[in-house]
């Protein structure tokens, strides 16, 4: 196995475990309010998008290349593996322990996973894929990633606000 494949396997396992730990921690809370978590996620996405769209962070070409080639892949795989890790671990642990919010966490993670599939497909197509690396300039790819974070953050916050309003 090549070093990069081993490193990917280790990072994938770590992302899965982080998702499992987060899912277990959140499901052990007595009152899980998904709209609060959505607000935090939306704010993190907005801050990341603002940093990526500012020319201060992406003024260096090496940093842009790292963001588009490595960080974008980390974002794609992170959304997938952290969500799956949270769902699987909470599902398994819920058989052995009576976690107060396990059903809410599993439904939230499942909805979030499917909600993020379409935007992540766009990120893969316009930022991370081999065709994007060949056909789309580096500046545009970095801007697309920043726009993804800003719009995803706004949508996640909007859905969270609506859920808060309806509760």
CB 18 within 8 A of CB 115: no
pLDDT at residue 133 in the model:
87
147 in a structural domain: yes
Domain that holds residue 34: 3-162
CA gap 1, 5 in Å, rounded: 6
> What tokens were used for 1?
């196995």
Residue 167 resides in a domain: no
Q: Is position 75 within any domain?
A: yes
84 vs 90: CA distance, rounded Å = 10
- The pTM for the full model equals 0.86
Mean pLDDT (whole number) for 6-18: 92
Write out the E strands in the chain: none
Q: Is residue 22 part of a domain?
A: yes
Tokens read off for 128: 């991370």
Q: What is the pLDDT of residue 13?
A: 95
The tally of domains found in the chain comes to 1
In whole angstroms, give the CA distance from residue 53 to residue 145: 8
Confidence of residue 2 (pLDDT cuts 50, 70, 90): low
Q: Quick check: is 138 in a domain?
A: yes
CA nearest neighbour of 146 among 40, 50, 39, 76: 50
User: Sign of the C-alpha dihedral, residues 86, 91, 95, 101?
Assistant: positive
């Amino acid at each position: 196995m090549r070093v990069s494949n081993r490193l990917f396997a280790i990072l994938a396992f770590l992302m899965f475990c982080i998702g499992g730990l987060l899912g277990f921690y959140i499901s052990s809370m007595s009152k899980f309010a998904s709209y609060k978590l959505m607000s935090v996620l939306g704010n993190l996405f907005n801050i990341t998008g603002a940093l990526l769209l500012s020319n201060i962070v992406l003024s260096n070409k090496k940093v842009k290349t790292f963001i588009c080639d490595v960080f974008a892949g980390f974002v794609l795989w992170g959304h997938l593996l952290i969500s799956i890790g949270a769902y699987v671990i909470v599902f398994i642990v819920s058989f052995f322990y009576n976690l107060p919010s396990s059903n809410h966490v599993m439904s939230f993670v499942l909805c979030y996973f499917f909600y993020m599939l379409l935007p992540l497909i766009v990120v893969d197509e316009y930022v991370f894929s081999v065709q994007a690396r060949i056909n789309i300039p580096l500046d545009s790819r970095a801007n697309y990633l920043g726009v993804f974070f800003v719009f995803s953050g706004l949508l996640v916050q909007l859905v969270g606000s609506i859920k808060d309003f309806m509760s």
